[in-house]
Structure 1
Amino acid sequence: MKYVRLLEELRKEDLSLAGGKGVNLGELVLAGMKVPQGFVLTVEGYRRCLKSIHLPEVNVQDLSALKNAATKIQMEIENVDLSDEITLEVLEAYRKMGSPKVAVRSSATAEDLLRASFAGQQESYLNIQEESAVLKAIKKCWASLWAPRAVYYRSLQGFGESEVTLAVIIQEMAPHEVSGVVFTVNPLSNDPSELMINAAYGVGEALVQGEIIPDQWLARRPDGAVLKFTPAPKKGLSPSPLTRPGYPARGCLTSQQVRELACLCLRIEKHFDGVPQDIEWSYGLGEFYLLQSRPITTI
């Protein structure tokens, strides 16, 4: 295929083709992690359909002017027609997956790098099903590359508009009884002897975006033994998920699950040459699924 690559075909050398998120997923597959099946519509798809898209001369410090210019570009992208060749390749790959519910996620070429993560600058769309919805979500991901905050952030990081393009990941939704993030080195203290695990019930997108306060564990490297547990605060008079029947009393993960997750994530860190990682994961059907790994740029 010309425009589509399976996750297992991707390696770190494919950054310019599949973006940071895409190649890191490929590396997770290579490392033997359980990664939901999926594929990437490479940046060649973006280039094929959006040859004429560019930001007009505008002062990015003028936020009103930037918003107006970026919004026009986004509307133009969402109304673009996908080429027949791209549409056929995407739908063929989606059908081979069994046409499941998928996450459609942006993967920019200037994303998840050692010097700039760009985390949260482009959009992801979850629980997408049916072919027309997948194609629409692809264009929405492309458009998110031109969100005002994304353009502004790229400018601050010194990336020119011609340096950045976008691949799109189409990946089966993982089971998500519990979801969360692991930092393989505590990002608050930079203590190399401990890692941090944040977790909450359900899909982890709200947690990743900082919209909810999770359960939190500090665990010891290298064995994952729990050093400290901080439960999520209860809200109002609603029953706390910490007391839901069938779940452990001390948060949404057991101590054994914390150990297992910590050890998995330290294996991932080792695969990425010992660089501390910020790792997204979910848990369901008795297994951990790895959804993304990126360098911790604050350390």
Structure 2
Amino acid sequence: MKYVRLLQELTREDLSSAGGKGANLGELVLAGMKVPQGFVLTVEGYRRCITNVHLPKINVYDLPTLEDVTSKIQMEIENVYLPDEVTIEVLKAYRRMGSPKVAVRSSATAEDLPSASFAGQQETYLNIQEESAVLDAIKKCWASLWAPRAVQYRSLQGFGDSEVALAVVIQEMAPHEVSGVVFTVNPLSNDSSELIINAAHGVGEALVQGEIIPDQWLVRRPDGAVLKFTPAPKNRQSPSPFIRTQRPVRGCLTSQQVRELACLCLRIEEHFNGVPQDIEWSYGLGEFYLLQSRPITTLKD
């Protein structure tokens, strides 16, 4: 197919076509990880459909002007006509998956690079089902490439708008009793003998976006032993200030699950040539699913 690639067909060599997220998902499949089935609408699809975007020279610090200009671009993209050859390939791949609920995720060519993290600059849409909704979500992902904060961030990082395009990952929703993020090196202390696991019940997007405070485990490398556990703050209070419960605080993962997840993530780091990784995952039906891996860009040299 010309515009669609299955995840298992991708490697890190496909960054320019599948974007950072798509290429790295292909690497996770190659590494033998359990990755939900899916495919990528490559940047060739974006360029086939989006041909006339022009961002005038503006001061990216002038937010009112930036928002005005980019909102018009985004509206045009969300209403763009999808040529039959693109639509046919996308829907064929979606039907082959069984038309399940999917995550539709942006995958920019200037994303998940060792030198800069564009994570969170473009949009993700979860629990999308039915063909028309998938096609609409794809266009919304394309439009998010031109959101004000994305345009501003690219400018500040020195990326010209002609250098970026957007692939879109369409991937079956993984079971998500628990979801979270692993940093294979402690980014808070820069300690390479420790890793950090953050986790919360349900879908992990709110955690990734920093909207909730998760349970957190400080874990020893390489054996996955828990060094410290910090539970998420609880909003619920005891019905009486005079009643104290003696039940121990437990997180949303057991110590054995923490150990298993740590070992999985260290295997991923090894696959990426020992480069410390920021890894998204979910857990359900008794198994861990790997959803994304990118280099940690906040570590000090």
Bucket of the pairwise TM-score, normalised by the shorter protein: over 0.9
- What is the DSSP-based 3-state SS (H/G/I as helix, E as strand, rest coil) of the residue aligned with 1:170? strand
Write the mapping of 1:107-118 to structure 2, written as runs, cut at 5 A.
107-118=107-118
Establish whether residue 200 from structure 1 lines up as the match of residue 200 from structure 2. yes
- In 2, the alpha carbon distance for the partners of 1:285 and 1:238 equals 32
1:286 aligns with 2:286: yes
Aligned to 1:252: 252
Alignment match, 1:147: 147
**Counterpart Cα distance in 1 of 2:274 and 2:249:** 34
1:58, CA displacement in angstroms?
Answer: 1.5
Kindly state the Cα deviation for residue 53 of structure 1 after the two structures are TM-superposed. 1.1
Partner Cα distance (2:264, 2:102) in 1 = 24
- Percent identity, please: 85
Q: 1: CA distance between counterparts of 2:75 and 2:56?
A: 15
Pairwise CA distance, 1:250 = 1.5
State the distance in 1 between where 2:128 and 2:156 align: 33
Deviation string 1:17-67 (CA, Å, 9 cap, x unpaired) is 000000000000000000000000000011001111121222212111111
Residue type at the aligned position of 2:37:
Q
User: How much does 1:249 deviate?
Assistant: 5.1
Aligned letter for 1:116? A
Task: Indicate the residue corresponding to 2:59 in structure 1.
Answer: 59
Does residue 136 of the first structure (1) align with residue 164 of the second (2)? no
Give, in whole Å, the separation in 2 of the partners of 1:17 and 1:173: 23
1:35 aligned partner: 35
State the partner residue of 1:160.
160
Corresponding residue for 2:187? 187
Decide whether the 8 Å contact of 2:122 with 2:150 is kept in 1.
Answer: yes
Task: Render the CA deviation track for 1:274-294: whole Å, top value 9, x for unaligned.
Answer: 000000000000000000000
Question: Structure 1 length as normaliser, TM-score?
Answer: 0.96
- 1:84, 1:58 → 2: CA distance? 35
Which residue matches 1:44? 44
CA distance in 1, matches of 2:257, 2:26: 25
- Structure 1 counterpart of 2:120, one-letter code: G
Q: CA RMSD in A?
A: 1.1
Q: Which amino acid aligns with 2:267?
A: R
**1:215 aligns to what?**
215
Deviations along 1:95-129, one digit per CA (max 9) or x if unpaired, are: 00000000000000000000011110000000000
What is the aligned residue count? Answer: 291
Q: 2:167 is matched by which residue type in structure 1?
A: A
The one-letter amino acid of 1:91's match is L
**Do residues 8 (structure 1) and 8 (structure 2) align?**
yes
Tell me the alpha carbon deviations over residues 190-229 of structure 1, each in whole angstroms, 9 at most, x when there is no partner. 1000000000000000000000000000000001000000
Q: C-alpha separation between the residues in 2 aligned to 1:114 and 1:26?
A: 17
Separation (CA, whole Å) in 2 of partners of 1:191 and 1:108: 30
Question: 2:155, 2:266 → 1: CA distance?
Answer: 33
Task: Report deviation, 1:236.
Answer: 3.8
Letter in 2 for 1:93: A
